Amino acid sequence: LTLNSHNLRLFCLCYFPDSQIALQPDVLWQYDRRTVARLFLALISGRTLPTSAAHGKREQLLAWLPDRLAELDSLDFLPTAVLHDVYMHCSYADLTEKHRIKRSLNDLIRRSLLAGDFKDIAVGDNRGQTATDTPEVQGPPKKPVLLVVLEWFTSQHSVYRTHSRALAALRGHFIVHAVGLDTAVDAVSRQVFDVFHPVSTDTALPQAYALAGELRPDVVLYAGIGMFPFTIYLSNLRLAPLQL
């Protein structure tokens, strides 16, 4: 096979992490950056790349790709179903700057969101429930609102074991809302929060975004970022004065 612009997609389809053909990203990028960006992200995304060839390709691309992602203008053509795998599994690389690709992905995601139907939620004084509805009536101020964004949080998951008591303790200081996939948070773990808002996998991002717009929380706390696509996307928007 002599690579050219006509058979580039066939090459990408047949190219695997273990392929013995040397990867030449600069050359491939010149043919069709959209097509090869899909290939490169797929090559990086694997949780386990146990062979020297596969591991070497990930090391090479984690050094090369971050700067090139700035040349892309949209997420529409990318394999968005595995972007969170790139975000998370880069941690298994040896490269010193292995996490740099997260910044590039975040920049691209944020640009795409702001170009679409999403925007930062204005940070002002009328947030959550930090003030009473009628200031002239004397009484204790209402608790500020905290929104926890969850990934896996079933009662059998390690995140529940490590985080549940601390999150429950926050109810002494905040009205604690949580949002998460309805399949990733069970009946036991939902009891940690004052209110749990389930969202569906296919509409998680717009649902969670709309919830933040309705609650206008004083604080947004991400229990984790990287296991699900919607948490990565949501973290690239300003939803509260304080985001952790």
Each residue's pLDDT tens digit, 38-54: 999 999 999 889 999 99
**How far apart (Å, rounded) are the C-alpha atoms in residues 211 and 201?**
15
CB atoms within 10 A of CB 196: 20
Section 150-156 average pLDDT: 96
pLDDT of residue 15: 92
Section 139-146 average pLDDT: 83
**How far apart (Å, rounded) are the C-alpha atoms in residues 204 and 201?**
5
pLDDT of residue 94: 95
pLDDT of residue 135: 46
pLDDT tens digits along 194-234: 999 999 999 999 999 999 999 999 999 999 999 999 999 99
- The C-alpha angle 95, 96, 99, rounded to 5 degrees, equals 85
Residue 17 vs residues 39, 66, 144, 183, 231: alpha-carbon distances, Å: 10, 19, 49, 32, 27
- Asked whether the beta carbons of 182 and 164 are under 8 A apart, the reply is no
Name the least confident of 9-13, 73-77, 100-104, 224-228: 73-77
Q: Which fold has domain 145-243?
A: Rossmann fold (3.40.50)
**How far apart (Å, rounded) are the C-alpha atoms in residues 166 and 213?**
25
> Looking at residue 202, what DSSP letter applies?
G
Domain boundaries, the chain: 8-115, 145-243
